[in-house]
Amino acid sequence: MKKISSIAEIGLDRVFRWLSFSALIIVFDQWTKQIVVNAMTLGERLPVLTYFSWVRWHNEGAAFSFLADAGGWQRWFFIVLAVVFVSFLVFELRRLAPKASLQHLAYALIIGGAVGNTIDRLLEGYVVDFVLLHYDRYYFPAFNVADAALSVGALIWGILLVKEVLDKKN
C-alpha cells in the first residue's frame, strides 16, 4: 500500500485554496447584504441608472422567487438542498484533476453562493436581494452577490459539460 507523504498528494491544499475563494464570496455577500439592510427599508428602491436600481427585497423562495409563497416549508427544503449539494461539491473538489481550474472555479463560485444564501435562510428565513436590472416595463428578478456567484458558477459548469460531451463525440 502506498504511503501518503503530504497533504498536497491528496489534494487538500488545492481544496483549501478553492474553499478560501468560496469564503471570500460568502464574506462579500454577507457584507453587501448588511450594508443594504442598514441603509434601506424593506421595499425601498433607489434608481441609479435608467436600467439599474438598488432595492431591498426579501425573497423567501429560490431563484426568481421560485416557491416564495409556499408557506414556509421551502426554507428548510432549500437549506437541506444546499447542505447536500455543497457537501457533494466539496467532495468533488478533491477528486478533480489539478489542472481542472475552470471546474474548480465553477464549484467554488457555486459553494460560495449557496452558503451565502443559506446563511440568510438560517438566520432570517429569507434572502436579501438588492440589485435590480430593468428596461422600460421589463424587469430581471432582483439578485445579490450570492445569486451572481451561483449563476456564473452554474454557467461555467454548464459550458464545461457541453464541451465534454462535444469532445467525446469527436
Distances in whole angstroms, Cα of residue 80 to Cα of each of 42, 84, 149, 152: 27, 6, 19, 22
Closest CA to 58 of 81, 35, 41: 41
Cell of 149: 456567484
User: Is 13 a residue of the active site?
Assistant: no
* Catalytic choice (13, 29, 120, 129): 129
Instruction: Compute the residue count for the chain.
Output: 170
* 147 catalytic residue (yes or no): yes
Phi, psi (rounded to 5 degrees) for 135: -145, 120
Catalytic residue among 13, 29, 69, 147: 147
Q: Active-site residue numbers? A: 129, 147
